[in-house]
Amino acid sequence: MDRRRALAMMGGLVLCPLCGANSFSADAHWSYEGATGPAKWGGLDPGNAVCGVGSQQSPLDIGATIKAQLSPLQISWAKQGDTIVNNGHTIQVNFAPGSTLTMGTEKYSLVQFHLHRPSEHLVGGKSFAMEVHFVHRNDAGTLAVVGVLVTTGGRNAVFSKLTATMPTVENTQAKADADIDPNGLLPMQRAYYYYEGSLTTPPCSETVNWLLLTDPIQVADADVASFAKLYPMNARPVQKSNRRFILQSS
């Protein structure tokens, strides 16, 4: 059994508040600043220890990459989510079973997507306005997260609807608007960077295959500002690569 599968099976895969399909962020003991900020996550709870001592932590600054023949991303998502949640750390849209991501012979189910401001990943030291994470899980408990970088410029109708209808009170949810189509938050091209990493929130489990799309999407400045009124900064700083290879699809 490989290391990732063993980690995923230990305790049935412990997930962070951001990764729960239907739960709110009940744990308010971690944050993005101060005494409960990222530098302290590993010591806040025994279950978060890997946040401080893990060797495959995320996010990363994408620098040198290796061109590789990676499997194309076959995305088959529903055109709308189930619920939209303000979980105290971000805005998250949850999905009912049925939406999938396939890479070669591996199939994953879309659980949810959520937002970070600014981007958690950097590319060549450059930060982006925001980042969207589409969290998928397979039957073995391994996660595949499709990351989409966000710049400001032209309006994106789906993102506008998302920010216009997001709950503004923490730990509340609503039915997701029918116009919040996750497919509308993807760029035209699906080239991507691949590396093995972790959740970017506690418990920082190292069970994630990261698929960061190389092309960003554009959204309106006003919509980023709307999200920033709720969460002005909810991004974990980049972590050490520890000699990990970053592959880039050709």
Q: Known catalytic residues?
A: 89
Q: Is 81 exposed, middle or buried (0-12, 13-18, 19+ CB in 10 A)?
A: buried
Contact in structure between 91 and 114 (CB atoms under 8 Å): yes
Indicate if the alpha-carbon torsion angle 58, 60, 66, 72 is positive or negative. Answer: positive
Q: How far apart are CA 72 and CA 237, in angstroms?
A: 29
Q: How far apart are CA 247 and CA 134, in angstroms?
A: 19
Closest CA to 70 of 211, 229, 164, 198: 211
Q: How far apart are CA 80 and CA 113, in angstroms?
A: 12
Q: Is 105 exposed, middle or buried (0-12, 13-18, 19+ CB in 10 A)?
A: exposed
Instruction: Report phi then psi at 100, rounded to 5.
Output: -135, 160
